[in-house]
Structure 1
Amino acid sequence: MRATYADSVRKLSLWMRRHPVVGDTTIALFLGAFDMLALTSPMGGTTTWIFIVIGGGLILPLVIRRRYPVLSAYLVLIAGVAQLLTHGDAGPTVTDARMRLADIALGISLYTLVAYVGRRAGLLYAGWLALGTGVWAAWRLEEKEWFFGVVVVVVIFAFCWALGEFIGARRAYQNEVEQRVKLLETERDQQAKIAVAEERTRIARELHDVVAHAVSVIIVQADGAAYAVRKNPDVAERAVKTIASTGREALTELRRLLGVLRNDDGDGGEERAPQPGTESLSELAEKVRKIGLPVRLEAAGKLDDLPAGVSLGVYRIVQESLTNTLKHAGPGASATVKVTRDDERVLLEITDNGTGRIAEHTPAAVPGGNGLIGMRERANVFGGTLSAGPRAQGGWRVTAVLPVQDA
């Protein structure tokens, strides 16, 4: 029974997280319902329709507070200023309209900015609230009410700020845990791919040995058959049969091993896709965007007729650079990829505006230390150069030059 109740609560919580407007609308409805109870008594210093309009201005923006936190907060603040101007002094026998339950929306907005936007936005908003509170206390409160009113408002706003700090820290921790889980999954997949690549390398060596042995046998038997074809036809016939048998065995073994190499799973299924090149950069950028990293791709020059090796090298360098950005640039980062070709070379520049620590971009931070090393090696193969390092304005830059003529 307890497990069923806990599962139901968890499902409801997850559903509410996916649909934040529902929860915010519920808060606004409850707050509006209790605020409108004040209409049962005459309003002090204001009229009923002004009271209702200002209440709507304070409460309705809460519906979008998590989707558009800054816009919602400042709409509430504008309504608070309007309340300050329209809600006057309360008489001795009527409801005090200078303070109302809907004013809690100001504290909710402060909490939302601190938790979902950041301290800087929260401090700016708190400054406006402090200014408004001071004007309200000096203008609308009597001298004997001033101290108590200000203390109550400050306590409420301080509580909202503290709650925003707590929830913001919790959200940041959850986001970091999610990023680490994704990173671990990515590293696990990469380790599996590395293991597969190592196995295919071993198979390729076996393939070389098998084919080399078979060709050697065929050559020896062919030479023997050439010498014996006239003097000893029986020996020549056996040599020719050996050549045919060895060739068939080599062909069978070659097909079997190639079947393993062509299939990613090693089960003889579909062949591997052709090696990517510069024509696949747009697809690569789109894949990275779907993962969550905004990428802007800029290409100039004739990239379609690059040599296959250079084209593949360009793709792999861009791919590895974007992978490192995903791992180490931190949340909210974006990347720019520039590929330019002139008559004799291809210029690459991959930059990001990440906030990750510089040390995290070094090869030592990449499992096995092969990230930047592999990119440099790929550039050196074609007689090019590659450099990587932090930018003065923040983030990371990878630049590479690959000669076309030398390739």
Structure 2
Amino acid sequence: MVGDTLIAALIAAFDLLLFVARVVEPQAQPRPEPWFITLPLIVGMVAPIVFRRKYPLTAAYLALAIGIPHSLAEIGIGSVVTGCIALYTLVAYVGRRAALLYLAVSEVISLVQLPLQQPDDWVLGLIMTNLALAFSWALGEFIGARRAYHAEVERRLRLLETERDQQARIAVAEERARIARELHDVVAHAVSVMVVQADGAAYAVHSQPELAERAVKTISSTGREALTELRRLLGVLRSDGNGGERTPQPGTQSLSDLAGRVRAVGLPVRLDIVGNVDDLPAGVGLGIYRIVQEALTNSLKHAGPGSSAVVRVARAGDQVELSIVDNGRRTSGTLVGVSGGNGLIGMRERALVFGGTLDAGPRAAGGWEVRASLPIGNS
């Protein structure tokens, strides 16, 4: 409304200058109406412009009604300009039907008023008025089409954002279901070990108490590990479908085999393991394996020919640090082919399940890097 108020003030100022010029000029014909008639007509003529966007129909017909005495008094250009602005507003903001009806009413008024007011050259006045109205219609069509285009673009962007969020949530749910199934296998394996050890302890408790004591200790440690995995499992939704065969899952001991398979398909991989990672809890070992597997898969897809990767697994106390780096090519500062897909979501979810963190992104020197930190504690 600030811009429309400025436009209205500009039109009113022009009409007011014409009125003052005719007042100070004694030979002016026709003589202007008294100021107490002219000034209200000037203000009333431009007032609908101020609220034309909020009430386009009301503003248009109010301007048309006030334009009749304004033009009869020959005050200035306010009636013509305001009428053109009203027609443009109806075309751009309301629609062609309302604008066509307004144009028809305006044409009838012009056909009646112009011959009475300008009997000698009313045809020229009608042509000029129609040209101005035609330009206003064309401008309204252009602006209306742009507004409709921008509204459609915004609607599609909102739809795409909603779809992207839904896909991310679906990917998270699917990955959590997969993690839950794998943790279920870990817990099932631990319970199987506990049952076997308990049976052995029952047979050896009298004849070989030392052997029975070792079996009980194994049951104790395995049970604690299983409880840890169960606590993690409680926060993960599990899908009951597609049971499949229950087999022990890979862990850090399988990283060498994984690196060998990736080398065989064309990506040279160097595996560096620092510290003892063979006695990690089964769930943590599985998470490490899956993160490395997904990161190397992304490197195979996106790094490009001639690339290589370095995998580093380092254990320091109760923490395991992972680093998977490749030297894939870059174009205009962005790694070729890499986008925010479900693989990154899955890796991050795996790290969060164990209370860890994961960061991934392009390297300044070129290529892509995935860094993860996983705690080994039992909580």
Q: Out of 93, 96, 101, which is 1:124 matched to?
A: 101
1:107, distance to aligned residue in structure 2 (A): 0.7
Q: Distance in 2 between matches of 1:226 and 1:70?
A: 93
**Aligned pair 1:24/2:4, yes or no?**
yes
Q: Distance in 1 between matches of 2:69 and 2:183?
A: 82
* Amino acid corresponding to residue 35 of structure 2 in structure 1: T
* Amino acid corresponding to residue 220 of structure 1 in structure 2: V
Query: Which residue is equivalent to 2:19?
Result: 39
Query: Which residue is equivalent to 1:157?
Result: 133
Q: What's the secondary structure of 2:54's corresponding residue? A: coil
Q: Aligned in 2, Cα 1:249/1:213: closer, same or farther, shift over 3 Å?
A: same
Query: Which residue is equivalent to 1:140?
Result: 117
Query: Which residue is equivalent to 1:208?
Result: 184
Q: Distance in 2 between matches of 1:44 and 1:131?
A: 27
Where do 1:309-388 residues align within 5 Å?
Answer: none
Q: Distance in 2 between matches of 1:123 and 1:102?
A: 19
2:88 touches 2:136 (CA, 8 Å); kept in 1? yes
Q: Distance in 2 between matches of 1:53 and 1:103?
A: 17
Q: Out of 24, 33, 36, which is 1:49 matched to?
A: 36
1:107 touches 1:157 (CA, 8 Å); kept in 2? yes
Q: What's the secondary structure of 2:121's corresponding residue? A: helix
**Aligned pair 1:74/2:61, yes or no?**
yes
Where do 1:79-118 residues align within 5 Å?
Answer: 79-83=66-70, 87=72, 96-97=74-75, 100-118=77-95
Query: Which residue is equivalent to 1:194?
Result: 170
Query: Which residue is equivalent to 1:280?
Result: none
1:55 touches 1:102 (CA, 8 Å); kept in 2? no
1:258, distance to aligned residue in structure 2 (A): 4.9
Q: Distance in 2 between matches of 1:127 and 1:114?
A: 14
Where do 1:6-21 residues align within 5 Å?
Answer: 21=1
1:218 touches 1:243 (CA, 8 Å); kept in 2? yes
Higher relative contact order (CA 8 A, sep 6+): 2
Query: Which residue is equivalent to 2:26?
Result: none
What's the Cα RMSD here? 2.3
Q: Out of 53, 61, 64, which is 2:51 matched to?
A: 64
Where do 1:198-347 residues align within 5 Å?
Answer: 198-256=174-232, 258=234, 261=236
1:70 touches 1:113 (CA, 8 Å); kept in 2? yes
1:164, distance to aligned residue in structure 2 (A): 0.3
Q: Distance in 2 between matches of 1:74 and 1:159?
A: 19
Gaps of 5+ in 1: 1-20, 89-95, 263-407
Q: Aligned in 2, Cα 1:78/1:101: closer, same or farther, shift over 3 Å?
A: closer
Higher helix fraction: Structure 1 or Structure 2?
Answer: 1
1:234, distance to aligned residue in structure 2 (A): 2.8
TM-score by length of 1: 0.52
Q: What's the secondary structure of 2:135's corresponding residue? A: helix
Q: Distance in 1 between matches of 2:11 and 2:88?
A: 16
1:257, distance to aligned residue in structure 2 (A): 5.1
* Amino acid corresponding to residue 35 of structure 1 in structure 2: D
2:45 touches 2:78 (CA, 8 Å); kept in 1? no
Matched-pair identity in %: 56
